[in-house]
Amino acid sequence: MDLRALRERAGLKIIDVAHILECAESSIRNWEKGRTLPKMEVWQVFRMRDLYRCTEAELVLAVRKSMPMETKEQEKPTE
């Protein structure tokens, strides 16, 4: 499940999330489309977890699923 799916499952609109997290709507859209990675303060991460009614692990997985493949490849550890 990606970030958009988590948000929709919680019945939230982008504008609602942006208002509660005190960030721009464009930031939420960019995170969901994998254009940028979320850069949040700790309180925002916990608030997002609570808003989306998920665990921290689900939130991390959703961020990863929202990222484009080339970004995922760059994050893999080199052997």
Return the domain boundaries, the chain: 3-67
Which residues, at least 6 apart from 70, have a Cβ–Cβ distance to it below 8 Å?
none
The phi and psi torsions of 15 (rounded to 5 degrees) equal -60, -35
Quick one: CA dihedral 59, 23, 5, 52, positive or negative?
Answer: positive
Which pTM value belongs to this model? 0.82
Query: What pLDDT digit, counting tens, does each position of 46-64 carry?
Result: 999 999 999 999 999 999 9
CATH fold for the domain made of 3-67? 434 Repressor (Amino-terminal Domain) (1.10.260)
Confidence band (pLDDT; 50, 70, 90) for 18?
very high
